[in-house]
């Protein structure tokens, strides 16, 4: 896959990188864990600029998630599940994503962008819940930019060893998801305590 990604970027430049990230959100077999470190490798060789690659990748990531958001908002669960085989989203995955979104809301949209798989699927419940489009886009772009910068930066640092990034993402994603869950839970508890204290006054 690495050679194919290289061919696309060499042929289309930043546009190719953006298109790869759009596809990555819609078709999970195209992993950003391969595309972004490889882009970083090209940045290190001077064939792409860091900020150009980051802008292209973040645009592509955000555009891809907007497609899924639109499917959820205007097509509903039925449309999503009808094409779930192509999106790699089944009923169980969608149910879990809706549960996470219902519990955590905005923070989930932001933090899920740095967790593989959840990064794409969170867009669907945000759409079905009719989350305001501007808020969704801003949270998505922010979280995606952080993820993209980290992986492109890793590719710059690792150079020809860029492919090792993929080996670490699985364990990393579990740690990040757990940390995000703890952080969001703490935020909700503190907010509940503040509201309770205000009612007592």
Q: Which two tokens stand for residue 17?
A: 């990188």
Which of 3-7, 26-30, 167-171 has the highest average model confidence (pLDDT)? 3-7
Closest CA to 70 of 26, 31, 23, 16: 26
Residue 173 is predicted with a pLDDT of 47
Q: What is the CA radius of gyration of the chain?
A: 18
170 has pLDDT over 60? no
Distance CA 45, CA 132 (A): 41
pLDDT for the residue 79: 76
- Other C-beta atoms within 10 Å of 40: how many? 29
47-103 pLDDT per residue, tens: 999 999 999 999 999 998 898 888 888 877 777 777 666 666 767 767 777 777 777
* Cβ atoms 27, 34 nearer than 8 A: no
The H or E element that residue 124 is part of is: helix 123-128
User: Which of 26, 37, 48, 25 lies closest to 1, judged by CA?
Assistant: 37
Taking the C-alpha atoms of residue 178 and residue 49, their distance in angstroms, rounded to an integer, is 33
Q: How does pLDDT run across 93-127, given as a tens digit for each residue? A: 677 777 777 776 777 788 777 776 666 778 888 88
Summarize the confidence of residues 21-26 as an average pLDDT.
Answer: 84
- Residue 132 carries which DSSP code? -
The helix-helix angle for 14-26 and 50-70 (nearest 10°) equals: 30
What's the mean pLDDT when you consider all of the chain? 77
pTM of the model: 0.74
Q: Is the pLDDT of residue 189 over 70?
A: no
Average pLDDT over residues 38-44: 88
């Amino acid at each position: 896959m690495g050679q194919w990604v290289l061919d696309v970027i060499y042929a289309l430049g930043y546009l190719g990188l953006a298109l790869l990230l759009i596809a990555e959100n819609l078709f999970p077999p195209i992993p950003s864990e391969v595309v972004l470190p490889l882009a970083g490798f090209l940045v290190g060789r001077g064939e792409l600029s860091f900020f150009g690659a980051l802008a292209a990748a973040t645009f592509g990531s955000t555009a891809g998630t907007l497609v899924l958001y639109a499917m959820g908002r205007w097509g509903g669960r039925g449309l999503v599940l009808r094409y779930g085989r192509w999106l790699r989203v089944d009923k169980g995955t969608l149910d879990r994503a809706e549960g996470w979104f219902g519990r955590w809301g905005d923070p989930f949209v932001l933090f899920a962008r740095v967790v593989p798989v959840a990064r794409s699927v969170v867009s669907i419940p945000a759409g079905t819940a009719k989350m305001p489009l501007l808020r969704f886009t801003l949270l998505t772009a922010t979280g995606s930019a952080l993820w993209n910068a980290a992986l492109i930066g890793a590719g710059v640092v690792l150079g020809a060893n860029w492919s090792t990034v993929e080996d670490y993402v699985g364990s990393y994603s579990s740690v990040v998801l757990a940390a995000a869950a703890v952080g969001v839970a703490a935020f909700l508890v503190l907010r509940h305590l503040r509201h309770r204290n205000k009612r007592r006054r």
